Structure 1
Amino acid sequence: MFLDAPLAVATEVTLPPDVSRHAQVLRLQPGDALRLFNGQGGEWQAEVLSMGRQTVVVRVDQPLACDRELPRPVTLALGMPANDRMDALVEKATELGVQAIQPLHTSRSVLRLTGERADKRRAHWQGVATAASEQSGRTAVPHLAPVRSVTDWLDQLPAPASDAEQRCLLSFTPDAVPLSSLPSRAGCPLLVLSGPEGGLDPQEETHARQRGFIPVSLGPRVLRADTAPLVVLSWVNFCPLEVVA
């Protein structure tokens, strides 16, 4: 269970309402064991001390070293798909190990979010990511960045820190290279830019290239906006890492 708080051995913690409800749904009882994580690495063994109607108190026991993250950090910058597809994308991307997600407006976006509505959706997606992290056994929760326009985001994107940082633009242009041809190195950050339904327009693709993005192809078939980024994450999960001398 995710607990957004410091954890230390032999401390008693009253779980916040949302986490308490999770424990109650699982029908935990005093004396039952559970595991907590706070996104700072590893897990913590804990024991239920008391179960109330609205509160659950646990005692934090020993830390448990574990690492279930990808061998390299991946950030997805997404032209938001419409309807409930963004919810599903956030959930599955979390399960596959994404580190951060940047929701974007593009010229061809169907979903348009601004102001308070954008803030509420971001908070909702952060909750989806938290739940998916708990379900999949991750010890980190992906960060959902505020909704931005792709133009503003690209303008403020810093230059690549080094040649080891990869920036990929999912594209159907003739010069796009196969994803499988890219080197994959442990610890090498990967930033993936993917368009909404209809993809990015030519001006946006040109802008991305000017910011260091390499056009990448996922094959001859047209994948949905909520499918293509997941293919990249699957590739990162299973692609053999390049040996660096």
Structure 2
Amino acid sequence: MSSKTSVRLHVPAALAAGLVFTLPPGPSRHAQVLRLQPGDDVRLFNGEGGEWAARIVRMGRQAVDVEVSAFHAVDREAARPVLLALGMPANDRMDTVVEKATELGVHALQPLVCERSVLRLSAERAERKVGHWQGVATAAAEQCGRTRVPVVAPVRELREWLSGPLPADDAPTARLLLSLAPGARTLPALGLTGAEPVVLLSGPEGGLTPAEEALALARGWTPVSLGARTLRADTAPLAALAWLMLQSS
């Protein structure tokens, strides 16, 4: 068996045993960069759960052909679905949050523009950024063994997003707001059940304004503290997400 059998590629297409097809441009480039050769084994996943064994049958200049074989019903997804909504940190820190949140098992991500946001995106630039972050999530899912790729939603204004229905409004969901306000509860004190869905809201650099926090509280959010230290905008949501995932495992 090839030493490169651990290579996983995300292919957003219907897969079936015996299928021979050309990989899309992204996975083809990945296979070429790794210098895979005909006969090398790879694993494919399309985000619908499980993964497929496959073998490279042709390496072209631009494209790579594979033959799909057996399906493996592996499940490496977190028991608790978590939607992470966060004021986008500036520079490359949002890339880091998307990557690490995917590795930790986040179900979906909602980028937000808040009053104190440093990163503010126009409509066209926001669309490009979301496409980039979706690529970051896909690459992280390939690397860490996930069988589903978290969806990065279009950028929204925080107040508009808070005022509308949440994707999980029809299901029992804990709405947790990371806060430095006195009286905020710790995560262990919440008594969450093992698989209860969570929507986790975290602010940008400088946090949410008092008015934004008040709006969230009026909408039924629970303020949650991560301790006495003030964590960065890219550290706090990952710390909370790690606890939520470990607590539900």
Q: Does 1:156 align with 2:164?
A: yes
Alpha-carbon distance between aligned partners in 1 of 2:115 and 2:248, rounded to the nearest angstrom: 36
Shift of 1:34: 0.5
TM-score by length of 1: 0.95
Shift of 1:157: 2.3
Q: Which residue of 2 aligns with 1:126?
A: 134
Secondary structure of residue in 2 paired with 1:108:
coil
Q: Does 1:186 align with 2:194?
A: yes
Alpha-carbon distance between aligned partners in 2 of 1:31 and 1:19, rounded to the nearest angstrom: 16
Query: Of residues 107, 116, 122 in structure 2, which corresponds to 1:108?
Result: 116
TM-score by length of 2: 0.93
Q: Which residue of 2 aligns with 1:16?
A: 24
Shift of 1:240: 5.5
Q: Is the 2:81–2:197 contact (alpha carbons within 8 Å) kept by the matching residues of 1?
A: yes
Shift of 1:186: 3.5
* Structure 2 segments unaligned to the other structure (5+ residues): 1-8
* Structure 1 segments unaligned to the other structure (5+ residues): none
Deviations for 1:79-107, whole angstroms, at most 9, x for unmatched residues? 01111111111111111111111000000
Deviations for 1:3-45, whole angstroms, at most 9, x for unmatched residues? 0111111111200111101111222111111000010000000
Q: Which contiguous aligned blocks of 4+ residues in structure 1 show a shift greater than 6 angstroms?
A: none
Q: Is the 2:80–2:245 contact (alpha carbons within 8 Å) kept by the matching residues of 1?
A: no
Query: Which one-letter code corresponds to 1:96 in the other structure?
Result: L
Q: Which residue of 2 aligns with 1:79?
A: 87
Q: Which residue of 1 aligns with 2:15?
A: 7
Q: Is the 1:171–1:216 contact (alpha carbons within 8 Å) kept by the matching residues of 2?
A: yes
Give the alignment's Cα RMSD to 1 decimal.
Answer: 1.3
Mapping for residues 16-55 of structure 1, pairs under 5 Å: 16-55=24-63
Q: Is the 1:70–1:236 contact (alpha carbons within 8 Å) kept by the matching residues of 2?
A: no
Q: Which residue of 2 aligns with 1:140?
A: 148
Alpha-carbon distance between aligned partners in 2 of 1:186 and 1:45, rounded to the nearest angstrom: 32
Deviations for 1:139-168, whole angstroms, at most 9, x for unmatched residues? 111100000100000111248434x41000
Secondary structure of residue in 2 paired with 1:46:
strand
Query: Which one-letter code corresponds to 2:204 in the other structure?
Result: P
Shift of 1:237: 2.4
Q: Does 1:175 align with 2:196?
A: no
Alpha-carbon distance between aligned partners in 2 of 1:48 and 1:88, rounded to the nearest angstrom: 32
Q: How many residues align?
A: 240
Q: Is the 1:157–1:211 contact (alpha carbons within 8 Å) kept by the matching residues of 2?
A: no
Alpha-carbon distance between aligned partners in 1 of 2:225 and 2:181, rounded to the nearest angstrom: 8
Q: Does 1:222 align with 2:210?
A: no
Q: Is the 2:21–2:67 contact (alpha carbons within 8 Å) kept by the matching residues of 1?
A: yes
Deviations for 1:118-151, whole angstroms, at most 9, x for unmatched residues? 1001101011111111111111111000001000
Query: Which one-letter code corresponds to 2:69 in the other structure?
Result: D
Q: Is the 2:77–2:105 contact (alpha carbons within 8 Å) kept by the matching residues of 1?
A: yes
Quickly say closer, same or farther: Cα 1:175–1:161, change in 2 above 3 A.
Answer: farther
Alpha-carbon distance between aligned partners in 1 of 2:248 and 2:160, rounded to the nearest angstrom: 35
Alpha-carbon distance between aligned partners in 2 of 1:148 and 1:2, rounded to the nearest angstrom: 27
Q: Does 1:98 align with 2:106?
A: yes
Secondary structure of residue in 1 paired with 2:86:
strand
Alpha-carbon distance between aligned partners in 2 of 1:109 and 1:7, rounded to the nearest angstrom: 42
Q: Is the 1:41–1:140 contact (alpha carbons within 8 Å) kept by the matching residues of 2?
A: yes
Q: Which residue of 2 aligns with 1:56?
A: 64
Quickly say closer, same or farther: Cα 1:240–1:94, change in 2 above 3 A.
Answer: closer
Q: Is the 1:103–1:148 contact (alpha carbons within 8 Å) kept by the matching residues of 2?
A: yes
Q: Is the 1:72–1:185 contact (alpha carbons within 8 Å) kept by the matching residues of 2?
A: no
